[in-house]
Amino acid sequence: MIRTILHYPDKRLREHGARIAEVTPAIQQLIDDMAETMYAAPGVGLAATQIGEKVALFIIDIADEDAPSELRVFINPEIIERDGEITWQEGCLSFPSVQEDVDRAERVTVRAQDRDGKPFELEADGLLAVAIQHELDHLNGVLMIDHMGPLKKRLTHRKMVKRAEEQAST
């Protein structure tokens, strides 16, 4: 089922994802819904908090459009190592049509659980590392706008508030 993606300035985007104690059928259904939602958007990552679910879960698929899906599920993720620095132009499904250069670690090691609750560690670089950091920010209530300078932050905030007002009036 395709879920509604929350758009900034929705206050629910600031809520933190709570640790998932057990991977239940309901969590697996949430993963399926998130994947369907992300692909329909389309996007390369989606955190549960972006659809109003306050759990520590995000998904990522950075496969090219013509390539087979490489859906990755991260339950209770934590970055245990960061290395290097990279600036990447990021977009976000909660900030439609906004692009921003964000400084991130170039490489990360993340520890999480997969769709079945099995623990794993993954070393990532490039787009995958950036996506992991971006989605983990969401689970901690940190948004793309928080990485912007004061002027860009003000302009983006105004643009998103205006967009929300226009959508509310239609």
Q: Residues with catalytic annotation?
A: 135
Task: Assess contact for 33 and 101: CB atoms under 8 A.
Answer: no
Q: How far apart are the first and last CA of the chain?
A: 24
Residue with tokens 């793309």: 144
Residue with tokens 């958007």: 41
Contacts of residue 88, Cβ cutoff 8 Å, sequence gap at least 6: 101, 102, 104, 127, 130
In contact, 124 and 108? CB cutoff 8 Å = yes
**Distance in angstroms (rounded) separating the CA atoms of residues 148 and 158:** 14
